[in-house]
């Protein structure tokens, strides 16, 4: 196959969520092209396009959960609701001239490295693409996970996942069952309880919950941020450091302060829930930070509404009319909402990538996922991941991680403009980095905190989160150390 040179891209970005859009903006600013972004959904926004459940919002403050190089002065609330974040991403893409570069409804199926030509041959459901480099902005949280409960197909009513909300179903006056008590559940439950006749929440593990203190941002502050960019930047810095210290407050490893953070969360629970039995059911039996620490002011009050029941008995099966628990209790339901999270490992395992010498990514990761700085993998030249393995966060804004990674990838892409055909991480540099991660993980809160979460893979290793502060990651990854790479 010989394509005209004009059809060979300099960079193909996969995914038009926060990561992909950030990468595309910075590539354009750096004059890197031709460039294309493919996106499987029918709109841009990634997570914020998919997750439209009632109450969807971000639990990181808006002024921090946004791109530093695409600021927005007039965020409506401390914690922006999903429609506002989605609108922000759309406006940002438009303002930066990205829309003509984005091909919606185009699914990345896989890619094969062509050593002779120094190119990736990409397969999509809309045909092949040739590109010198690929940047994956696919993230890990987009394949809904459904629980393996017997009888799931037997249910006669409507059933859907929080990340694939069926807006055609009116929940007013319905008997609704929600399975799961993670970050999505605690946002959706208060909204559903307002309209449902009866809401039954099926909890397997209670989360640690801190106060949220959400509020509308006063008009005066918005005007100030508009007038004085420095004031907005200071607010962002304040929020960054407020979250950054959480890395040392037990959010990454058990510290002297973990007990104090737990006491604060227990006080939040005690203040909100007076019933002793309910409080006991809502008290976690593992260390704070082991699972994502949640923030909410309306979740606990909602659980005390007369139309809400918290069921802590395990689910035995799903029937035509509802759910039966292990103790034999039956719950008749009209609708089941799965707030059961995402299949992270499957997302990465489904990447059909064939690198140098026919090496498949699934082979390279047969003992678990891992990438140098969470970005590059030996054997896969000119392939870069944003929010890849071990670059998620529990304590601060992932947008900060994305920006660090985008800079690293830009450094690498620049080397391809100066006569190099390929840039590939050296296996020894990758091994050194992964050793560092493993040794830091050994006493991390996720390993030692007495719980199981989606952060851990089947063998119990945390291959999803960065085990340190954002500043530590910045020092480690912001500039690509070219001695760790092989250029050719
Ligand atoms: P999640 O944290 O993985 O929670 C899934 C919930 O489903 C857990 O409570 C889990 O219980 C429960 N579950 C799974 N299988 C079950 C079964 N067979 N029976 C009973 N319960 C079952 O998923 P998520 O709430 O969608 O959040 C995923 C991630 O998305 C978060 O960690 C966060 O990174 C991101 N997120 C962020 C925001 C935000 O505001 N920034 C909002 C939503 C989501 P166990 O705990 O016992 O496993």
List, for residues 192-241, the tens digit of each pLDDT value. Answer: 999 999 999 999 999 999 999 999 999 999 999 999 999 999 999 999 99
User: Does residue 110 lie within any of the structural domains?
Assistant: yes
- Probe target for ligand 1 pocket from 161, 179, 183, 296, with the most ligand atoms within 8 Å of CB: 183
Domain boundary, last residue among 338, 362, 393: 338
With bands split at pLDDT 50, 70 and 90, how would you rate the model's confidence at 142?
confident
Distance 339 CA to ligand 1 centre (A): 6
Do residues 118 and 256 share a domain?
no
CA nearest ligand 1 atom 26, residue: 341
Do residues 194 and 334 share a domain?
yes
List, for residues 5-55, the tens digit of each pLDDT value. Answer: 458 999 999 999 999 999 999 999 999 999 999 999 999 999 999 999 999
Rounded CA-CA distance 462/394 in Å is 12
Do residues 269 and 379 share a domain?
no
pLDDT the model gives residue 250: 72
Distance 230 CA to ligand 1 centre (A): 37
133, HSE (Cβ side, Cα atoms, 13 Å): 30
User: Does residue 232 lie within any of the structural domains?
Assistant: no
Do residues 314 and 419 share a domain?
no
φ, ψ dihedrals at 119, nearest 5°: -135, 155
Q: Which of 181, 137, 148 is nearest to 23 (CA)?
A: 137
Q: What is the mean pLDDT of residues 151-163?
A: 97
CA nearest ligand 1 atom 12, residue: 180
Q: Are strands 8-14 and 485-487 parallel, antiparallel or unpaired?
A: unpaired
CA nearest ligand 1 atom 2, residue: 182
With bands split at pLDDT 50, 70 and 90, how would you rate the model's confidence at 247?
confident
Rounded CA-CA distance 430/435 in Å is 9
pLDDT the model gives residue 171: 98
Contact 13, 24 (CB under 8 A): yes
Q: Which token pair is 49?
A: 């396009």
The whole-chain average pLDDT of the chain stands at 95
User: Does residue 353 lie within any of the structural domains?
Assistant: yes
List, for residues 309-367, the tens digit of each pLDDT value. Answer: 999 999 999 999 999 999 999 999 999 999 999 988 777 777 899 999 999 999 999 98
Q: What is the mean pLDDT of residues 423-439?
A: 97
User: Does residue 454 lie within any of the structural domains?
Assistant: yes
- Probe target for ligand 1 pocket from 188, 204, 446, 457, with the most ligand atoms within 8 Å of CB: 204
User: Does residue 349 lie within any of the structural domains?
Assistant: yes
Task: Show the domain range for 468.
Answer: 11-143+343-487
pTM over 0.75: yes
| pLDDT score of 3 more than 90 | no
List, for residues 442-474, the tens digit of each pLDDT value. Answer: 889 998 899 999 999 888 899 999 999 999 999
Distance 453 CA to ligand 1 centre (A): 8
Rounded CA-CA distance 449/437 in Å is 17
Distance 344 CA to ligand 1 centre (A): 12
User: Does residue 238 lie within any of the structural domains?
Assistant: no
Do residues 133 and 43 share a domain?
yes
Q: Which of 424, 369, 429, 430 is nearest to 133 (CA)?
A: 424
List, for residues 473-487, the tens digit of each pLDDT value. Answer: 999 999 999 999 999
Q: What residues does ligand 1 touch, defined as CB less than 6 Å away?
A: 58-60, 141, 147, 149, 162, 179-185, 202, 204-205, 292, 315, 339-342, 454
Domain boundary, last residue among 287, 306, 338: 338
Domain boundary, last residue among 338, 367, 390: 338
Structural domain count of the chain: 2
Q: What is the mean pLDDT of residues 52-72?
A: 97
Do residues 272 and 385 share a domain?
no
Range name among 50-54, 91-95, 102-106, 243-247 with the lowest pLDDT average? 243-247
User: Does residue 150 lie within any of the structural domains?
Assistant: no
CATH number for the domain spanning 278: value is 3.50.50.60
With bands split at pLDDT 50, 70 and 90, how would you rate the model's confidence at 253?
confident
Do residues 351 and 317 share a domain?
no
Do residues 112 and 180 share a domain?
no
Distance 341 CA to ligand 1 centre (A): 4
Do residues 37 and 56 share a domain?
yes
With bands split at pLDDT 50, 70 and 90, how would you rate the model's confidence at 394?
confident
φ, ψ dihedrals at 486, nearest 5°: -105, 125
Rounded CA-CA distance 304/38 in Å is 45
Do residues 114 and 179 share a domain?
no
User: Which atom of ligand 1 lies nearest, measured to the CA of 149?
Assistant: 18
- Probe target for ligand 1 pocket from 159, 180, 347, 462, with the most ligand atoms within 8 Å of CB: 180
With bands split at pLDDT 50, 70 and 90, how would you rate the model's confidence at 246?
confident
Do residues 92 and 177 share a domain?
no
User: Which atom of ligand 1 lies nearest, measured to the CA of 315?
Assistant: 19
User: Does residue 108 lie within any of the structural domains?
Assistant: yes
Do residues 481 and 431 share a domain?
yes
């Amino acid at each position: 196959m010989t394509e005209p040179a004009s059809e060979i891209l300099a960079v193909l970005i996969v995914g038009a969520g926060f990561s992909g859009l950030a990468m595309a903006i910075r590539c354009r600013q750096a004059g890197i092209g031709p460039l294309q972004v493919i996106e499987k959904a029918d709109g841009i926004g990634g997570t914020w396009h998919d997750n439209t459940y009632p109450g969807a919002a971000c639990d990181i403050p808006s002024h921090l959960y946004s791109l530093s190089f695409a600021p927005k002065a007039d965020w409506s609330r401390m914690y922006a609701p999903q429609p506002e974040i989605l609108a922000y991403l759309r406006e940002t893409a438009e303002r930066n001239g990205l829309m003509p570069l984005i091909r919606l409804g185009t699914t990345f199926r896989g890619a094969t490295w062509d050593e002779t030509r120094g190119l990736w041959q990409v397969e999509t459901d809309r045909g092949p693409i040739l590109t010198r480099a690929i940047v994956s902005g696919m993230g890990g949280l987009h394949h809904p996970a459904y629980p393996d409960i017997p009888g799931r197909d037997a249910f006669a009513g409507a059933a859907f996942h929080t990340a694939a909300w069926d807006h055609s179903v009116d929940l007013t006056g319905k008997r609704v069952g929600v399975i799961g008590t993670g970050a999505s559940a605690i946002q959706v439950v208060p909204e559903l309880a307002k309209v449902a006749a009866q809401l039954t929440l099926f909890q397997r593990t209670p989360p640690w919950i801190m106060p949220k203190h959400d509020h509308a941002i006063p008009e005066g502050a918005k005007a100030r941020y508009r007038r004085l960019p420095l004031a907005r930047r200071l607010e962002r810095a304040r929020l960054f450091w407020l979250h950054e210290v959480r890395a040392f407050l037990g959010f990454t490893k058990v510290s002297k302060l973990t007990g104090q953070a737990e006491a604060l969360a227990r006080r939040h629970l005690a203040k909100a829930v007076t019933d002793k039995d309910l409080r006991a059911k809502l008290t976690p039996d593992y260390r704070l930070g082991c699972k994502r620490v949640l923030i909410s002011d309306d979740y606990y009050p909602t659980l005390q509404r007369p139309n809400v029941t918290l069921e802590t008995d395990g689910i035995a099966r799903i029937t035509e009319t509802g759910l039966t628990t292990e103790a034999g209790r039956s719950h008749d339901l009209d609708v089941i909402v799965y707030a059961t999270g995402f299949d992270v490992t499957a997302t990465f395992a489904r990447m059909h990538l064939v690198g140098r010498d026919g090496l498949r990514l699934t082979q390279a990761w047969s003992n678990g996922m891992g990438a140098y700085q969470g970005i590059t993998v030996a054997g896969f030249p000119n392939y870069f991941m944003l929010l890849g393995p071990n670059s998620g966060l529990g304590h601060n804004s992932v947008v900060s991680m994305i920006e660090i990674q985008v800079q690293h990838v830009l450094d690498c892409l620049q080397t391809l403009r100066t006569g190099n055909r390929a840039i590939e991480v050296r296996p020894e540099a990758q091994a050194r980095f992964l050793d560092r991660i493993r040794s830091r993980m050994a006493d991390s809160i996720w390993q030692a905190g007495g719980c199981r979460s989606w952060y851990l893979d089947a063998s119990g290793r945390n291959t999803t989160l960065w085990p340190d502060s954002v500043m530590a990651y910045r020092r480690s990854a912001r500039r690509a150390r070219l001695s760790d790479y092989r250029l050719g």
